[in-house]
Amino acid sequence: GAGVSQSPSNKVTEKGKDVELRCDPISGHTALYWYRQSLGQGLEFLIYFQGNSAPDKSGLPSDRFSAERTGGSVSTLTIQRTQQEDSAVYLCASSLGQGGVEKLFFGSGTQLSVL
Amino acid sequence: LAKTTQPISMDSYEGQEVNITCSHNNIATNDYITWYQQFPSQGPRFIIQGYKTKVTNEVASLFIPADRKSSTLSLPRVSLSDTAVYYCLVGLLFKDMRFGAGTRLTVKP
């Protein structure tokens, strides 16, 4: 696609429910990143993929968070048993992933609100 | 992993030149320096990237001294639309794509 696409743009859920956030990277980009941004804060790194594998899962805040990527393209971030502190904007980015210096292209994010 | 330090916020006026400095004392030999800009309700976008000396594009200039322990993003003649958060990243590979708190620039009329 022309850019990184994220869906939904907004998600309101109740505490304890599971949510799935989707990211569709730029075509041909093999690296994909998930970040979380709380109101007025910087970007918190969550996880990145190179192809379908995730070499670095260290940023996931708890075992309620998981992510997968299939076909080297679309990625899904799943949050189980959501808590109010999970409320934030979840941003996805992709890059060529050819090694060397990476330039990230971001989507517009998913605003998650947990009531 | 090179840690970066930037001012939390800066104020400027329209038409002025703005310089935002990022400190990265433990930068590695192969690390590049990249700056991103983030407007409210949007994801960050790439501004400029460099390794040493000076890089200039249509948006900004990036100055990197010989020791590479800091870098300065220079925005010429800012306008209200340059009000944003600016992030400095230092690294090379995927694992280095961690953002700091950034610098919140406010441009006043």
Per-residue pLDDT of chain A (115 residues; tens, 9 = 90+): 589 999 999 999 999 999 999 999 999 999 999 999 998 888 899 999 999 998 888 899 999 999 999 888 999 999 999 999 999 999 999 998 876 678 899 999 999 999 9
The answer to whether residue B24 scores a pLDDT higher than 60 is yes
What integer pLDDT is reported at residue A1 of this predicted model?
52
CA-based nearest distance B100→chain A, Å: 6
Length, in residues, of chain A = 115
> pLDDT at position B98, please?
79
Q: Is A79 exposed, middle or buried (0-12, 13-18, 19+ CB in 10 A)?
A: buried
Alpha-carbon distance A84 to A88, whole Å? 9
Out of A31, A95, A101, name the one closest to residue B49 (CB): A101
Cα–Cα separations (whole angstroms), residue B50 to A3, B36, B75:
24, 12, 15
Average pLDDT of B92-108?
A: 84
Search chain B and give the residue with CA nearest A31: B94
Contact B49 A103 (CB under 8 A): yes
pLDDT in tens, B49-88: 999 999 999 999 999 999 999 999 999 999 999 999 999 9
